[in-house]
Amino acid sequence: MNTELFGVLITFLLTIILAIPLGKYMAKVFAGERTITDFMNPFERLIFRISGIDPKAGMNWKQFLKALLSINLLWFVYAFFVLIFQNKLPLNPDGNPGQTPDLAFNTAISFLVNCNLQHYSGESGLTYFTQLFVVTFLQFVSAATGIAALVALFNGLKEKTTSNLGNFWNLLVKSTTRILLPLSIVMGIILAFNGTPASFDGKDTITTLQGDTVQVSRGPAAGMIAIKQLGTNGGGWFGANSAHPLENPNYFTNIIESIAILLIPMALVFTLGFYLNRKKLAYVIFGVMTFLFLVFVSINIYFETKGNPAIDRLGVAQHIGSMEGKEVRLGSAATAFWSIATTSTSNGSVNGMHDSLTPISGGVAILDMMINALYGGVGVGLLNYYIFIIIAVFISGLMVGRTPEFMGHKVEAREVKIAALITLLSAFLIKSGTALAAYFVSHHPGLAWSVKPAAWLNNPSYHGFSEMLYEYTSSNANNGSGFEGLGDNNIFWNVTTGIVLILGRFLPIIGPVAIAGLLANKKYIPESAGTLRTDSITFGGMTLAVIIIVNALSYFPALALGPLAEYFSLK
């Protein structure tokens, strides 16, 4: 057991050690300073020339968002149709069928918004063509979109007064060529050399030692798995995601993949410090995030290594923890750590089945997605955290009786209204979605849909409620993991979660970028003795309190009905 805990500790420390230099590097890339990847320059100039982009042309917040949304719209339309007609396209050695329109709607949105909720299984629901030209493609560009939006926020904060948030196309391309692509190449090669398939061969048929005939799905998975983790996408090549022994072959790859989940989100916090030259602010933000992260990790490791009390009662030995839905080569501690890493960062890949986590661990995973700002998704995590900062600034301002300010700009009614709406939106989407689904399950279980509501849930009682709550929380957070027992490939779930996905992605991008644009247009107020210092430990504590209060008020009742009730029923 100790080597399992030690493995987790080393994984986390390695992540921090790698995130700091990466954060510094990214700050240089966005500031246009010299970096070791400058050999990409001619290549990028070619991209800009062919596309007709002037990378130096500044954009105000409205132009920036218009560019972002227009290219995202095209990606959605493209992905939707390719998924429906994938059976007629090349690279389909296993002869998989096209997706139904409602599934294609859900899948296209889900990958577009960096969520990767998968209502299909990779082995049978996609072809190699769509795995690459829809899934892998969107995994790159949706992550790059998130990073670009965050840099727009940085640019708004950097200058005293400006309307220029940077050029979206330039940021999108550079996020891909300078950050995501190089890291994915390194990681893809590491995975390929550790046993993850990389070739285009289709399914293999083998006769096992015992004489059964089985098939083994394969495919060019290594590269896709790299960007799946690095871009906080999370959608796996295989149905079982990183629990699959070809997707995550050994403990070493598990360390690499765990680091990759956290790396860029964590590094971007440091990028903020270097880019804005406000290192102390970055450390305070990092401290708050890390504090909550480690609390959650400790809880889950405790409960998963302790095992399931109901299994204890059957009289067998849970000497390596609760192993339902987990893999022996990874162990319960590493899966507990991963369950928090993946829900903190809106990654959503899993290396063990979350539906089979013990009740409290499952509940903490849900809560983590409700907060959705501990490091958070690539780019968007800090945008979410920024909303909490704005609310903390506002409340602190009220408490001391001063006009709230953040980094030299007055935070006024309009900005606070946007921040409050974004915060309330999450609670609204998650709870109304869950309520609607629960209504159908309990009042219309026999509706003549392709899958009757009575057959949606894989588990009865409190845990069944948690399955629905998890699905909408995961959709809103653009996380993509699930309590996968839920029967979610049908029109109700495909459409409702699809809608939650879009709103849960684009409003929390539009909101913070708009606030940044509005603030940056205001007159700069130099700091004075009366300024509320946002880079102090006190303010860090204030933000932490806001995060806890907002989420407790929003979600405690829902969590009490699901995971908490299940936990107490176990006693």
Site for other proteins in 28-87 (CB under 8 A): 47, 50-53, 66-67, 70-71, 74-75, 78
Q: Give the H or E element holding residue 409.
A: strand 409-410
* Interface with other proteins (CB under 8 A), residue from 34, 39, 317, 401: 317
* Interface with other proteins (CB under 8 A), residue from 119, 158, 178, 326: 326
Question: Using the 8-state DSSP alphabet, how is residue 564 labeled?
Answer: I
Cβ-contact 94, 157 below 8 angstroms: no
């909550």: which residue's tokens?
292
Q: Give the H or E element holding residue 213.
A: strand 213-216
Site for other proteins in 450-469 (CB under 8 A): 458-463, 466
- How far apart are CB 229 and other proteins at their closest, in Å? 14
Q: 331-344 and 2-31 helices cross at what angle (nearest 10)?
A: 30
Q: Is 302 in the site for other proteins (CB under 8 A)?
A: no
**By C-alpha distance, which of 411, 491, 410 is closest to 450?**
491
Q: b/e string for 269-297 if b means 16 or more Cβ within 10 A? A: bbbbbbbbebeebbbbbbebbbebbeebb
- How far apart are CB 251 and other proteins at their closest, in Å? 4
Residue type, 187: M
Residue 449's Cβ-count burial label (10 Å; 0-12, 13-18, 19+) is: middle
- How far apart are CB 259 and other proteins at their closest, in Å? 13
- How far apart are CB 526 and other proteins at their closest, in Å? 38
Q: How many residues bind other proteins (CB under 8 A)?
A: 123
Site for other proteins in 150-169 (CB under 8 A): 169
Q: Is 185 in the site for other proteins (CB under 8 A)?
A: yes
* Interface with other proteins (CB under 8 A), residue from 55, 58, 93, 245: 245
* Interface with other proteins (CB under 8 A), residue from 199, 442, 536, 538: 199
- How far apart are CB 76 and other proteins at their closest, in Å? 11
CB atoms within 10 A of CB 395: 16
* Interface with other proteins (CB under 8 A), residue from 316, 400, 413, 448: 316
- How far apart are CB 413 and other proteins at their closest, in Å? 32
Q: Is 334 in the site for other proteins (CB under 8 A)?
A: yes
Of 177 and 554, CB closest to other proteins: 177
Site for other proteins in 360-419 (CB under 8 A): 362
Distances (CA, A) of 91 to 80, 127, 129, 312, 447: 18, 7, 5, 48, 39
Site for other proteins in 201-220 (CB under 8 A): 201, 203-204, 206-210, 212, 214-218, 220
346 by DSSP, 3-state: which?
A: coil
Of 129 and 283, CB closest to other proteins: 129
The whole-angstrom separation of Cα 566 and Cα 277 is: 47
HSE (side-chain half, CA atoms, 13 Å) at 558: 28
Q: Is 299 in the site for other proteins (CB under 8 A)?
A: no
């909101």: which residue's tokens?
511
Residue type, 121: S
Q: Is 304 in the site for other proteins (CB under 8 A)?
A: no
- How far apart are CB 27 and other proteins at their closest, in Å? 24
- How far apart are CB 313 and other proteins at their closest, in Å? 8
**By C-alpha distance, which of 189, 343, 191 is closest to 265?**
343
- Do β-strands 405-406 and 409-410 pair in parallel, antiparallel, or remain unpaired? antiparallel
The whole-angstrom separation of Cα 137 and Cα 120 is: 18
Q: Considering only the stretches 399-407, 410-418, 478-486, 512-520, report the one whose residues sit in contact with other proteins under the rule CB under 8 A.
A: 478-486
Cβ-contact 399, 135 below 8 angstroms: no
* Interface with other proteins (CB under 8 A), residue from 34, 88, 315, 446: 315
Of 49 and 280, CB closest to other proteins: 49
The whole-angstrom separation of Cα 561 and Cα 85 is: 42
Q: Is 328 in the site for other proteins (CB under 8 A)?
A: yes
Question: Which tokens is 17 given?
Answer: 């050690």
Gap between the terminal Cα atoms of the chain: 25
Site string for other proteins, 503-542 (x = CB under 8 A): ----------------------------------------
Of 329 and 410, CB closest to other proteins: 329
- How far apart are CB 569 and other proteins at their closest, in Å? 6
Of 354 and 431, CB closest to other proteins: 354
Site for other proteins in 85-124 (CB under 8 A): 121, 123-124
Of 119 and 244, CB closest to other proteins: 244
